[in-house]
Amino acid sequence: MRKLLLAAAVAAASGSAHAATIYENGGFEYKLNGDFQVQLRQKSGDDKNPDIEFDDLELKNYVSYRLNDDMTAFGRVDFGFKDAANDEADADSGDLEEAYVGMAFGGTSISFGKQNTAGDEFGIEEAIETHTDEDRFDAVGATDGDDVIRIDSQLGNFYLVASYELESEGNDSENGEYVDLFASTEFGGLELAAAYQEWNEADGGNDETVDTWGVSAAYDFGIATLAADYSESDSNDDTTDNNADQYNLAAVFAAAETTDIAIGMTETSYDDLVGKEDVTEWYANVTYAFPAHKNVTVFAEIADTDEDNADVGYLAGMRIKF
């Protein structure tokens, strides 16, 4: 689930605001994050059955050395276990989700390794689980990579991210080549953002190239936050579903100090040549954070699409993070 009005921060350089500091001494710091979410879910669709689903089971390790007043060296290794928990065939394995090192200089950091791209920062949807893709960047599927060089920079009210996934031809980490840019700014409760990506398929395929771009806006009215985004992907191959555009609308209301209600919809329109039907999804959810510890939450959601024979989906669960 994404959060509206994201606080602009150089995440790679600072770790997480919710991380537990395990050890700190002489300029060295080790932090550990955890995110555990388990839910009962019945997906929207034709004749679906409910099951226990593991959305996030993550442990994130962050280490840093302060080299001087303006320079910090850092590294992160993240493991995710939701695939192992959801699939008995993977029960003895965990996935390496991120592994990178970098340097931070004041408000700017550069990192390289296995990590998310700049395009992953885009999007305003507030669903706990989506039945369709969140936006066109997620639909194309190039929002992370094994050979990513990434720069994050905080310049006053502007947050800028640039990333490059190396082509890595002939290597096991070959994912294609893509360049991403993301920019956001916030003033007076209004947040504006834009993103762009050029993705080139790895050699040996159909040499497909996809250009994706998107814009978003969110405004905090005090009693509610309203947001919208639009993204579009264009491929040089007219037979793929990478020729499409999508928009999201979302609203979050604070029903109480401990309770948020979110509603939203997304619509995806495909190029006629693809032969896929356009699809609209809507959702509504409620999240309760326990007053004693806001990182412990319970939630529920209903969602549906206008696809043929699709029944309403639902979920309810609990999340603990640190």
300 touches 316 (CB < 8 A) = yes
Residues 19 and 17: their CA atoms lie apart, in Å, by 6
The secondary structure of 17-46 as a DSSP string is TT-EEEEEETTEEEEEEEEEEEEEEE-SBS
Q: For 38-46, what is the mean pLDDT?
A: 89
Q: CB count, 10 Å around CB of 196? A: 18
Q: If residue 225 lies in a helix (H) or strand (E), which one and from where to where?
A: strand 224-235
Residue 310: pLDDT band (50, 70, 90) is: confident
* 244 pLDDT higher than 70: yes
Q: CB count, 10 Å around CB of 201? A: 19
Residues 119 and 148: their CA atoms lie apart, in Å, by 12
* Whole-number pLDDT of residue 13: 45
Tell me which of 2.40.160.10, 3.90.550.10, 2.40.30.20, 3.30.390.50 is the CATH number of domain 11-321. 2.40.160.10
Residue 4: pLDDT band (50, 70, 90) is: very low
* 234 pLDDT higher than 70: yes
Residue 18: pLDDT band (50, 70, 90) is: low
pLDDT digits (tens, 9 = 90+) for 134-146: 999 999 988 999 9
49 or 229, higher pLDDT: 229
Percent of the chain at pLDDT above 90? 72
* 7 pLDDT higher than 70: no
Q: For 78-93, what is the mean pLDDT?
A: 76
Which tokens is 3 given? 């959060």
Q: For 47-55, what is the mean pLDDT?
A: 87
28 exposure class (CB count in 10 Å sphere: 0-12, 13-18, 19+) = exposed
Residues 125 and 135: their CA atoms lie apart, in Å, by 8
Distances (CA, A) of 274 to 29, 82, 164: 51, 33, 29
Residue 12: pLDDT band (50, 70, 90) is: very low
Residue 179: pLDDT band (50, 70, 90) is: very high
133: left (phi over 0), alpha (psi -120 to 50) or beta: beta
124 touches 134 (CB < 8 A) = no
Please state, rounded to an integer, the average pLDDT across all residues of the chain. Answer: 89
173 touches 146 (CB < 8 A) = yes
Instruction: Sketch the domain layout of the chain as residue ranges.
Output: 11-321
* Whole-number pLDDT of residue 6: 42
71 or 7, higher pLDDT: 71
292 touches 118 (CB < 8 A) = no
* CA dihedral of residues 170, 198, 246, 162 (deg, nearest 10): 100
* Whole-number pLDDT of residue 3: 46
Lowest mean pLDDT: which of 90-99, 168-177, 265-274?
168-177
**Is pTM, for the whole model, over 0.85?**
yes
Residue 17: pLDDT band (50, 70, 90) is: low
59: left (phi over 0), alpha (psi -120 to 50) or beta: beta
Lowest mean pLDDT: which of 12-16, 191-195, 241-245, 304-308?
12-16
**CA-angle at 74, arms to 72 and 75, nearest 5°:** 175
Bridge partners of 309?
Answer: none
Residues 101 and 112: their CA atoms lie apart, in Å, by 6
Sign of CA dihedral 313, 276, 247, 179: positive
* 204 pLDDT higher than 70: no
Distance, CA of 77 to chain centre: 17
